[in-house]
Structure 1
Amino acid sequence: MKLTIDPKLLADTVTAAARSLPQRPLIPVLSGLLLEATDDQLTVSAFDYDITHRGRAAADIAEPGRILLPGRVLAEVAKSLPTGVFVEVTATGTEATLTCGRAEFELPTLPVDDFPTLPEPPDPAGTVDGDVFVTAVHQVATACSADDTLPMLTGIRIDADGDTLTLAATDKYRIAVRDLSWQPATAGALGKLLPGRMLHDITRDLGRGPVTLAFDDQLAAFITDIRRTTIRLIDEQYIDYRARVSLDTPIIARVDAPALADAVKRVALIAERNTTIRLSFTAGEVLLQAGGADIGRGSDVAACELNGGDIEIAFQSKYLLDALNAIDGQAHIGMTEPHQPALITSEDGAYRNLTMSVRVA
């Protein structure tokens, strides 16, 4: 195999594939990245039993072929290559050489014939704007649990009904939901549960432009013009999150989400991690307080428009910040009683976050 390629293209393609490499591969070849050179195109693939990735980049192919190289080492080398000059990749049976200007690296090859065949993606279910989808995933992923003992809580649920796609996640203490538009390829409802951490990680490489989503009973696939990633689904039932985020809240505070988030961060500085933030809503403003006699106290004030009676309510600072940071602009905080959950929504209602309140003596 022999090819020439722009070093930035190589680095982007290899780095994106390397993110899908298993941390503890069951067999040695799964630590490798498969490089295939054909038809003026370099394809880089990674395989794990839960996630697979295939990316393409334009290249000048002098000799077609396929090799398997140590994935993480290759990614570090590719990222370090100088720019302004093309990199040449040549390979024999046991070694590959990367030459870029005066920099040269020699990497041992792995047995390419032992590398598994990547699964083919399912039939397309629809297409979504990449930027909007990435934002939606990041907005709900903060509500995923890190505790693997209950897989359902680690996942992101994707539902579709007509031209509306809905993403949801919960860790029992909050529920984050985001609606967005998409273009379905087939009629009928859709409901799939994906590993939240994996879905969040792959969105870093989806980029701009349309993303095709595809599903079957075992796999979800995310396809762009240069990348294709498959993720194994979580086989779990999911809660009726729609009913839970459809509260009738008689008290609604309208706030500037970034401004209130900044105030929460300032007040939380005085207290311990995961501290409780107390919010006292009155007409025109909300008073934020945290801390106590043994660790010190902090307070701040933010503007708000209040509809309904005055109320004092408390939240864990992290949960409150996750909800506010997902909203760029005005937010509505809907409340019923001090010891009941609050519904934090974007002004257009596309993002909703039901967050448990904390009892404060």
Structure 2
Amino acid sequence: MKILCNKADLLKGVSTVSKAVPSKTTMPILECILIDATSAVIKLTANDMDLGIQTEIKGTIVEKGMIAIDAKIFSEIVRKLPDSEISIETNDNLQTTITCEKAKFDLAGKSADEFSFLPKIEKDVSINISEFTLKEVIRQTLFSIADNETNKLMTGELFEFSGSTLRVVSLDGHRISIRKIELKEDVESKKLVVPGKTLSDITKIVSGEIDKDVVLSYTNNHIVFEFDNTTVVSRLIEGDYFKIDQMLSNDYETKVKINKREFLNSIDRATLFVKEGDKKPIILDIGEEAIELKIKSQIGSMDESINIEKEGKDLMIGFNPKFLIDALRVIDEDEVTLYLMNAKAPCFIKDEKENYIYLILPVNFNVGA
């Protein structure tokens, strides 16, 4: 095999597929990137058996062939080469030579026969979503997945298709994030639980342009994202997702409209008095025309008032400030509405059409502490 390609194109391709290279594995072949130059285009592939990524790069195929190269060393070599044309050549013994200007590297490759290719997915259903919309939906929900694997389902997001609607849900036991978007066509009802890592990687490699689409397809075991000459195939998380609708309520005793930026900045300032790992709550004292935000720790205390529009009862309630900040940061509106029942019941932050819903559980607090 011999191929020629521009450094920028090769580096982009290597960076894209490297996200599917496992950090730890008992199978050395999975630590490799496959270079496939057997057809009219050059394809790079990496696969950790749960997540596989394949991308096409521009270049010239001088001699057709395939080789698997250790991803870590290959990535480092490409990154540090001059910004010029790169030649990659292999011989019958799988010895690989990478040349760029006056730099030359020789390294041992592995047989492509050992490599785990991406699974073939029967595409019964294909759904087009703009890159921008998909990236935004993931950004606005991914922060509330669980970061440990005590419950595998909590480490993923629910993709629930129904008619012309996609609802994306994440939760970690303390909060729930929901985003709802309209699709371009009606689809059959389906629920999929997509790993959070897959979605995080998607946001890093999708450019996010409004006029470009991601084509999404799925089976009972896999989901496929196709965009920009790149294919991402991910295993789904098995199991029935939590009954979210049972956790949601439209009942409230207190409704608060507040300027999002003022509210967010005030909570952010309050966290100056919270050390990392400290679980000091921020207390919201909701009055007739203003909300008073209070926090007190060993470092100091803060007290700030923000004007609000309120319906219903006065209320004092405490929250983990990080959970409020995470939700407010991803809401694009200038004004947000909070719906509350009492100091022990969850707070709902949502818009009128419920295109987004953020449920946050309150925490106990001592008024004088």
Tell me which interval the TM-score lies in, with the shorter structure as reference length. Answer: over 0.9
- Match of 1:116? 116
- Give me the whole-angstrom Cα distance separating, in 2, the residues matched to 1:331 and 1:323: 11
Q: What is the aligned counterpart of 1:217 among 215, 220, 227?
A: 220
User: For 2:20, what is the secondary structure of its paired residue?
Assistant: coil
- Give me the whole-angstrom Cα distance separating, in 1, the residues matched to 2:258 and 2:79: 43
Structure 1 residues 44 and 175: alpha-carbon distance in aligned structure 2, compared to 1, 3 A threshold: same
- Give me the whole-angstrom Cα distance separating, in 2, the residues matched to 1:301 and 1:246: 28
Q: What is the aligned counterpart of 2:320 among 316, 323, 328?
A: 316
Amino acid at match of 1:130: E
Shift of 1:348: 5.4
User: For 2:12, what is the secondary structure of its paired residue?
Assistant: helix
Amino acid at match of 1:305: E
Amino acid at match of 1:60: T
- Contact 2:20–2:53 under 8 Å retained in 1: yes
Structure 1 runs not aligned, ≥5 long = none
- Give me the whole-angstrom Cα distance separating, in 2, the residues matched to 1:38 and 1:286: 66
TM-score by length of 2: 0.90
- Contact 2:215–2:226 under 8 Å retained in 1: yes
Equivalent residue runs for 1:33-52 within 5 Å? 33-52=33-52
Shift of 1:136: 0.9
Amino acid at match of 2:283: R
Q: What is the aligned counterpart of 2:309 among 280, 290, 305?
A: 305
- Match of 2:234? 231
- Give me the whole-angstrom Cα distance separating, in 1, the residues matched to 2:163 and 2:184: 8
Structure 1 residues 16 and 275: alpha-carbon distance in aligned structure 2, compared to 1, 3 A threshold: farther
- Give me the whole-angstrom Cα distance separating, in 2, the residues matched to 1:77 and 1:301: 56
- Contact 1:122–1:220 under 8 Å retained in 2: no
Amino acid at match of 2:89: T
Amino acid at match of 2:167: T
Alignment root-mean-square deviation, CA: 2.0
- Match of 1:291? 296
Shift of 1:313: 1.5
Shift of 1:14: 0.7
- Give me the whole-angstrom Cα distance separating, in 2, the residues matched to 1:178 and 1:150: 22
Matched positions, count: 358
Task: Tell me if 1:326 matches 2:330.
Answer: yes
- Contact 2:95–2:106 under 8 Å retained in 1: yes
Shift of 1:296: 1.7
Q: What is the aligned counterpart of 1:254 among 254, 257, 260?
A: 257
- Give me the whole-angstrom Cα distance separating, in 2, the residues matched to 1:257 and 1:342: 15
Shift of 1:39: 4.9
TM-score by length of 1: 0.92
- Give me the whole-angstrom Cα distance separating, in 1, the residues matched to 2:37 and 2:265: 50
- Give me the whole-angstrom Cα distance separating, in 1, the residues matched to 2:170 and 2:347: 16
Structure 2 runs not aligned, ≥5 long = none
- Contact 1:258–1:328 under 8 Å retained in 2: no
Equivalent residue runs for 1:1-361 within 5 Å? 1-83=1-83, 85-92=84-91, 93-123=93-123, 124-184=125-185, 187-207=187-207, 208=209, 209-273=212-276, 274-292=279-297, 294-329=298-333, 330-346=335-351, 349-361=354-366
- Give me the whole-angstrom Cα distance separating, in 2, the residues matched to 1:150 and 1:6: 44
- Give me the whole-angstrom Cα distance separating, in 2, the residues matched to 1:104 and 1:283: 73
Over the matched positions of the two proteins, sequence identity in percent amounts to 23
Amino acid at match of 1:286: I
- Contact 2:67–2:94 under 8 Å retained in 1: no
User: For 2:22, what is the secondary structure of its paired residue?
Assistant: coil
- Give me the whole-angstrom Cα distance separating, in 2, the residues matched to 1:301 and 1:23: 48
- Contact 1:143–1:171 under 8 Å retained in 2: yes
Structure 1 residues 115 and 267: alpha-carbon distance in aligned structure 2, compared to 1, 3 A threshold: same
- Contact 1:268–1:275 under 8 Å retained in 2: no
- Give me the whole-angstrom Cα distance separating, in 2, the residues matched to 1:348 and 1:96: 58
